[in-house]
Homo-oligomer: A and B are copies of this chain.
Amino acid sequence: MVCLPVLTMVFHRDRWHLQTDMSEKFSLHSRLAADTFLVDDWPLCRVLLMNDSRFPWLILVPRQNGLRDFDEIAAGDKPTFFAEIDRASRALRAETSAEKLNVAALGNMVPQLHVHVVARFAADAAWPAPVWGVGEAIPYSTLQVDALIVALRDAAKL
């Protein structure tokens, strides 16, 4: 495969942006797309909110195709990758007063590399167990999710 730099126009947050793309178009796994809302695109990662109102739960997906494991991020992208995990943690903590944060890259079911950052509380539906596979998700209402996404974007501002 030959990769050439491509300039593309991307509509995001109410305006068009010129974006340099060194690879093919980024493709989000259909399961992640179905289970989440778009919060933002940060320099490296797409930021998603899991549609489960029981847990304030962000998912970071590096916008590069073909990544699977946590250590496959290119050396040059690692500082950004980890800074964005921290940024998601800070946003969740600021917005939800999380008692604990869970950070995890599992990917047993969805092979595309993605990092869960979940705000946890001693009174939440899964505590102290991990959140995966616990009961059924309770989707957000449109009002709820719109407000939460705005609040998380604000809390995540650098």
Contact = CB atoms under 8 A, between A and B. Distances in A.
A85 interface: yes
A31 to B, nearest CB: 12
Nearest to A83: B78
A30 B96 CA distance: 30
A46 to B, nearest CB: 19
Question: Can you tell how many copies of this chain the complex includes?
Answer: 2
Nearest to A90: B71
A103 B60 CA distance: 14
A71 B89 contact: yes
A144 interface: no
Interface stretch (A49-57, A127-135, A147-155): A127-135
Nearest to A120: B108
